[in-house]
Amino acid sequence: SKCFFFWVDERHVPFTDETSNYRMTQEFLLSKVPVPPENITPGTEPGRSAPDAAVWLQNRLRKFFGQDKIPVFDYCLMGMGDDGHTASLFPGMPQLNEREKWVVGYFVDEAKKDRVSLTFPVLNAARSLVVLAEGPKKAAMLQKVIDGPSEPPRYPIQYLRPTQGRLLFMVDEAAAALLKKK
């Protein structure tokens, strides 16, 4: 009853869609624990346009965290795309530079989908940012992101720089195969 769930990002699809993060999380996690439904805020509102869903989510965040202070999540769990994106913040998109809005909703041409995503100011305010990467498909990108030069517009995940929290990459052996040993 004291845990509240918000999504870092979401494909702007119905909750029954096979690609919905909400559906997957409900199926594999939240349906197995006694979380009150009112403690769960999906990452989108499918009955609205993606930009309107972003406004809806930002209003929910303002109601929960307060109007004027940026949300500070205890724990943000996210992945890393093969192109170096995280959340739904993709290379070369103007949303990477958003500093005022807490949430953006937009069409991502590469993914051919509308997405709703928290922005980097919100993500970087979290107490703990955890990035999961697994499998050999992630190895080359993980090496570029961790061991390579800082090129955040090219690899948006490099914009993850917690202001007061901690950033942790949790990777399996296959994803870490190309990393320098430390």
Residue corresponding to tokens 């769960």: 40
Q: What pLDDT score was predicted for residue 53?
A: 98
Contact 156, 89 (CB under 8 A): yes
Q: What pLDDT score was predicted for residue 68?
A: 84
Q: What pLDDT score was predicted for residue 36?
A: 96
C-alpha angle 72-117-2 in degrees, rounded to nearest 5: 40
Residue among 170, 168, 71 at smallest CA distance from 125? 71
Q: What pLDDT score was predicted for residue 182?
A: 63
CA distances from 44 to 13, 51, 107 (A): 8, 10, 13
pLDDT per 10-residue tile (average), the chain, 182 residues? 96 95 96 96 96 98 93 97 95 95 92 92 98 97 96 96 97 96 70
Q: What pLDDT score was predicted for residue 2?
A: 94
Q: What pLDDT score was predicted for residue 112?
A: 80
Q: What pLDDT score was predicted for residue 119?
A: 98
